[in-house]
Structure 1
Amino acid sequence: MFRFGIQDYEPRWLRGRDSITAVHGLRLAGLAGRTLTHVWVVWDLDDDEWFTNAPVVLDFDDERVSIDHQKFDDLCITWNTVDPSRPIEITGFNLAWRPDATPQLAELAGQTLHHTALLEWDGGRGDMANGNVTIGFDFSPYWLTIFNALDENGFDFGEPDKRYRHHRLNS
């Protein structure tokens, strides 16, 4: 099985902070102190833009974590299975892995991760996104938040929105 032609990528979708913490919390916390070498994204070569539906890969040399959002609140995290050196093979798309594809991502290369947090959206009464979980990486003074942009991945740079409840992960 694969998603968007990414070899060996078999997503397991989770919902909610408790399930994400139970499965991935300790390992995400264990990234603290590591140096980020690259953030890999899938690039649409025909449109010359980020293909936001595919996973984002944070490469810490000996540990590679991929993050992927789908639907309204599904999150998949995988470890050391997505290899950006391998070609993406899918009919109808011209896709390739690209490291540090934006100036903001390029600034993160070489930064040491201080901590990881699960960020839980609290937009107020009646907000359909309440409880949606996002992952924040604190590279002080830089932040990278990979969020669910309604069935695809999105990036925020800088301090996370104040409407997120921070759940710092500790090992």
Structure 2
Amino acid sequence: MGISGFSPTFLVGIDAVRRAHAARLAALAGRRLTAFAVVRFVEDGSWFADCPVVLDFDGVQAEVCHSKLHELSIGWDTIDTAAAIAGWEWFELTPQWSRHDERLEPFVGRKLREAVLVEWRPAPNKRDLAAGMVGVEFVFDGGRRLRIVNGLDENDIEVGDPRPGFVRHEPPR
């Protein structure tokens, strides 16, 4: 993708993601969201949801990226959001890092209460292509919630209470 430092390790399923990242996500509790970065296109400002969402919690950077229908990569302190995104000369739009997003901006400066994994489980006996998708929920002071979930082959950012169907997976104690 031409993103400096981005070397995703995509995992599938709640068990694999939980083993790899639940403890580190839980350790973010008590930190403040000090910055974030998303990729937008220069020409029209639209969000390029295929690229990672980078959240900085007092110097610890969590890099969340979904791919395909069930893959999730969470990176830690690897992406350089100050570096230009390279290698897109063939594409009609120009991606660049942005620190503007109306969904994320209200969370900057807020203290994180907890970060947990969430899994999409449809109603019993209902077929759902999204079943088993794993995302990350960040709960801030005042109970404000932010989720980065799979938007069917890209990231999706949700704010507020989770939709019915999301199951929270508490970190191991």
Same fold, TM exceeding 0.5? yes
CA positional deviation for 1:62: 1.8
Are 1:69 and 2:71 an aligned pair? no
Determine if contact 1:68/1:76 at 8 Å carries over to the other structure: yes
SS of aligned partner of 1:18: helix
SS of aligned partner of 1:83: coil
Percent identity, aligned pairs only? 35
Partner of 2:35: 38
Partner of 1:138: 139
Kindly report which structure 2 residues correspond to 1:61-140, keeping only aligned pairs within 5 A, or say none. 61-90=58-87, 91=89, 92=91, 93-99=93-99, 101-124=100-123, 125=125, 126-139=127-140, 140=142
Q: Deviations over 1:76-121 (max 9, x none)?
A: 010000111111112234111111x222311110011100111111
Are 1:149 and 2:151 an aligned pair? yes
Structure 2 runs not aligned, ≥5 long: none
Partner of 2:51: 54
CA positional deviation for 1:69: 0.4
Are 1:22 and 2:19 an aligned pair? yes
SS of aligned partner of 1:104: coil
CA positional deviation for 1:135: 0.8
Are 1:167 and 2:169 an aligned pair? yes
SS of aligned partner of 2:59: coil
| TM-score normalised by length of structure 1 | 0.92
State how far apart, in whole Å, the 2-side matches of 1:61 and 1:33 are: 10
* Aligned partner letter, 2:102: P
State how far apart, in whole Å, the 1-side matches of 2:154 and 2:129 are: 17
* Aligned partner letter, 1:151: D
Determine if contact 1:115/1:168 at 8 Å carries over to the other structure: no
Determine if contact 2:52/2:63 at 8 Å carries over to the other structure: yes
Count of residues in Structure 1 that have an aligned counterpart in Structure 2: 167
State how far apart, in whole Å, the 2-side matches of 1:154 and 1:43 are: 14
Determine if contact 1:115/1:169 at 8 Å carries over to the other structure: no
| TM-score normalised by length of structure 2 | 0.91
- The CA RMSD measured in Å over matched residues stands at 1.3
CA positional deviation for 1:47: 2.3
Determine if contact 2:4/2:81 at 8 Å carries over to the other structure: no
